[in-house]
Structure formats: structure tokens, C-alpha cells
Structure 1
């Protein structure tokens, strides 16, 4: 198994959606950053996926598009820009992961029931094994997170750390 960590749509605009969304994102960032640190320590790929929404003025170069400073992604990480919920749809993600020998994707980010779940299903369509990192998902509707976890494969941070050695 060679995994990559995907950080999906953790962008400044979404913190302004609602207090519930901001709280959910803030809570998820602790686990996202723990995952990033673990992947860096193991020299494994970290991928930052950012959603473009022209109608919301969420485009590269705008504050709304940016990843918050509290998320520990680096400019040297792979950055993918998407216009669909599924991070694999019409992006270079699958090819970039294959070039790095990746066969498994650990998914984190926002919004659990939309872009994260769409990317989970997209990973299957591209023959990657998708796994959600428990605690690292965010949503404006808190009860949607356990639903998404129930219908998906999930791993805790502790188990992931053990598996990666």
C-alpha cells in the first residue's frame, strides 16, 4: 500500500458559510494537520484540492480561494484545482497519483456529504482504494458526517499511524 493524503476544499470562503460550518472545519483541521504531519514524516504525498467557484468569486488569487494559514499544507505539495465535486473529474489528480505510485487515498476535508463523498466514489472509479480519516471531515450539518462515515471505509488516526509504521 502506498497512500496519499487528500485535503479537500478547506478554503477560507467556507468558514463564512455558517457558524456550524466554521466550527466543523476548525475541529477537522486538528486531525487534518495530524495527518499531514504523519504523511510528511513518512515521506508520503500530501495533496491540497481546492474548489473553484466563479459564481462565488472563489478563484485562484482571491482570499476566498485560499487555504487558511492554520492548515499545514505547503506550496511544494501537489495542488489540484477542481470545478466539480469529485476531485478526479476533469483534473490531473489520478495521473499525478499514479506517477507517485499511489494506490490508496486517505480523504479529509469539506464537505463530507458532497465533495468528500464524491471524491471517495471517484477514487473507486479510478481503481484507488479510498479511506476516510475519522475526525477530519467537516460539514455544515453535523449529522451528515457520521452518515458518510457509516457508508464508507474509515480509519482512525491511531490506526493509520500504526499501519504506516
Structure 2
């Protein structure tokens, strides 16, 4: 069995809206480089929506962040829902590559990253959530009184204790994930 790096919705339109978006993109780009060097497949999920919307697939903002430096060998999967598996070939693609663990990164922590982590478990996969590799909106959730940092901490804690018969979630910093790939 093997691992795949899954990058959720790191799109140009979202980078200025999420907490430390440029820094996050750099961290994820580094993870992707290390993954490729170690033979770990890189999968980038791209949220798309109707023409004229924020996620219009023809708009430059909906394109995956250039800072990620995606390569032709990387797999790009377009999605229309918060769950990266819903209505996509993600599950089949991972199964085809004999993947049993996804290393999960991207945006937004409290939307698509959360939904894709939980769905990964339902698909029988283990999840390594990169604890410093996902982000919510820059202003957090003002209605709930949570800062961006609090949302990240809360999701790292909640997801790492999720009980699901399909798989389990562990939270690791990007540096630890990279070090594990370097020693392969």
C-alpha cells in the first residue's frame, strides 16, 4: 500500500482570502516537491462552479495557485462540492494506485479540508492531516468568535480524535512529513 499527497483547493482566487495564503502555498509546494522526489503521487483538487462565479473554470482566479509549481505528472481533479470524493474519480484514482493513506493539505480548513478528511475515512483511507498545511478564511469565523489559529487548532484536535471504522487521522507538521519522505 502507499501514500498520496492531496492538495485541496489551493486556487488563485482563494490565496488572498485565507490565513497566510502565500506562506501556506510555499509550504505545500515544498511538500509536493518532496513527495515527487520520493515517488509519492501528488493530487490537486480544484473547486469549480458555474460560469461567472468565483469558481468559473475559465477564470484565472479559479486556476490552481502557480506558487504550487504543479508538474505534468501531478493529477488535477475538478470537483463541485466540499467533499473531494463527491462526483469525482478521486476514490478510483487512489484505488488504482493502491493508496491507503492520504496526506491532506489545503483550504479551507473548516469546509473542503474537513469534508475531504471525513470522506477519506468513509472510503477506508487513513489520513495524515498536515497540521500546519491547511488554513481557513483570514478572519477566522467572526460569527463563532474563532480566530483562524483557533479554527486550525480545533480541526486538528477534532479530526485527530474522529472515530471511524474505515481509517484513522493523525496530525503531523509539514516538516515531519517531509522528513519521512526524505528517509524513504
Query: TM > 0.5 between the two?
Result: yes
1:15 Cα deviation from its structure 2 partner: 3.0
Where does residue 102 of structure 2 map in the other structure? 105
1:5 to 2:5 alignment: yes
Where does residue 39 of structure 2 map in the other structure? 43
Larger radius of gyration: 2
Q: What is the number of residues matched between the two proteins?
A: 161
Contact 1:25 1:139 in 2 (8 A): no
Q: 1:15 to 1:31 in 2, by over 3 A?
A: closer
Where does residue 26 of structure 1 map in the other structure? 22
Picking from 124, 132, 135, the partner of 1:135 is 132
Contact 2:12 2:66 in 1 (8 A): no
Where does residue 150 of structure 1 map in the other structure? 157
Where does residue 92 of structure 2 map in the other structure? 95
1:66 Cα deviation from its structure 2 partner: 0.5
Where does residue 53 of structure 1 map in the other structure? 49
Picking from 119, 124, 131, the partner of 2:121 is 124
1:98 Cα deviation from its structure 2 partner: 0.8
Between 1 and 2, higher relative CO (CA 8 Å, sep ≥ 6) is seen in 1
Residue-by-residue CA offset, 1:68-109 (whole Å, 9 max, x unaligned): 211121233111110110101111000001111111000000
Gaps of 5+ in 1: none
TM-score by length of 2: 0.81
Q: Distance in 1 between matches of 2:27 and 2:179?
A: 16
Give every structure 1 segment of 4 or more consecutive aligned residues whose post-TM-superposition deviation is greater than 6 Å.
Answer: none
